Structure 1
């Protein structure tokens, strides 16, 4: 059977990435086989035009994919990978989006010569605004690396690291980062309501303000610190608010502790 890619797991992130790949034209639905035990999720994959099976036993005996993307929870990695050992130590490149799961884990199950790429995407990949960071072992060919980078680019920005140990920090910053931002929006909405604004207005102001500021930071040639200074008048309202956030480096310390907690949990998941 001709299949360029096998996607193992079609939950929120797996399906978001798959939709981006197909929607961008980077891969045809007929070139993808999805392995997903959940019937509802399997039906959603099939609705995109892909072949979808419940487990490895449903894969044709003659299938030989170029890429196998593992999009399951870290706790399930070892059990899941065992079913794909026949593709190890060969030309098939494995791509993992499981937090905290090392390349060594893949090599120990699939074979030490297996090409492996670790990728940490984040939720905005669902709308093409994601941040994907990759690390590849020495067995990944340039062709496979470029193909995977092209797929990931359909979901947002792509960066790479040369030291796998940095993937735990990547997970803590961009992988978990959307959760921090969503909570910041929640907190800004709550503060706006406390200040007297109606719920709908509070939500609209908070979301659009964060969106506008993030877009400006992404498109401006100025550093975020310079933009902050530009919007802060001497003894003005912004300065008064920033005195609270920046006093004793309150927000910086809190975010640093937040990222470190997530980084340490990423390490734990991989142990």
Structure 2
């Protein structure tokens, strides 16, 4: 699928996640002259990208909106932005905990609304973006928005919005959990006597190489682990610790459940 750039892209907010998305799109050929970022600070974003501190009187024809501010700001943003939207104005929301029904209530004039939950590696084109919409969104608009997302990495359409917080816990929050694992692996290496700088470099390279190998392998990660672990060998002894009483699985299940529950609480609060 080839990326389809909107005639104009209007970003409300440009924090870490929205900034990574925009960076990748610009690197893949999006003309910065087609981009406007609403940013109260007025701080520059990228060469050629227009930054404004207030809403314009009107949006250019062919504008796609990306909602990338903090979720708690949705009421104020919608009050100012909704009057500028019409049926042909696609809206992509990356606001955690903000449901499609809530978005439709706040933007009644917009027909094409998609929820998206990216993770941070979208800036490298190696991210995961969960997508959800309903039957009200035009089929062609849905295809165009999917093509816009394509340069960011793996795009996964979710059939049931009830799964959104669960998917967010896995892929949206997952990079932070993996970063923590890399740090723990390095610190564990230091704890058994490897110099800290070497342990850090080796832990990072080990995770990177193993992830690339898993991505290109026909076998599952579970099968790959068993292939590495010879009976009675060092790897098997280590796996026995991780596998005892399913402790690693239990830890990660508790971790994802906590993230999921927080997302659901945020949705109820909104």
- Could you report, residue by residue, the CA deviation over 1:238-265 in whole angstroms, capped at 9, with x for unpaired residues? 1111111110000000100100000010
Tell me if structure 2 keeps the 8 A contact 1:113–1:139.
no
CA-CA distance at 1:112 after TM superposition:
7.2
Number of equivalenced pairs: 263
CA-CA distance at 1:78 after TM superposition:
2.0
Poorly superposed stretches of 4+, deviation over 3 Å: none
* Residue 24, structure 1, aligned to residue 21, structure 2: no
TM-score scaled to structure 1, two decimals?
0.92
Distance 1:270 1:212, change over 3 A: same
* Residue 39, structure 1, aligned to residue 38, structure 2: no
For residues 266 and 197 of structure 1, what CA distance do their matches in structure 2 show? 39
Tell me if structure 1 keeps the 8 A contact 2:58–2:84.
no
* Residue 137, structure 1, aligned to residue 141, structure 2: no
CA-CA distance at 1:38 after TM superposition:
2.1
Aligned twin of 2:251: 254
Gaps of 5+ in 2: 1-5
- Could you report, residue by residue, the CA deviation over 1:42-98 in whole angstroms, capped at 9, with x for unpaired residues? x12xx3312210121xx2436344311100111212221221112445111110011
1:161 aligned residue (158, 161, 180): 158
Aligned twin of 2:144: 147
CA-CA distance at 1:129 after TM superposition:
1.1
* Residue 55, structure 1, aligned to residue 34, structure 2: no
SS of residue paired to 1:253: helix
CA-CA distance at 1:143 after TM superposition:
2.3
* Residue 10, structure 1, aligned to residue 17, structure 2: no
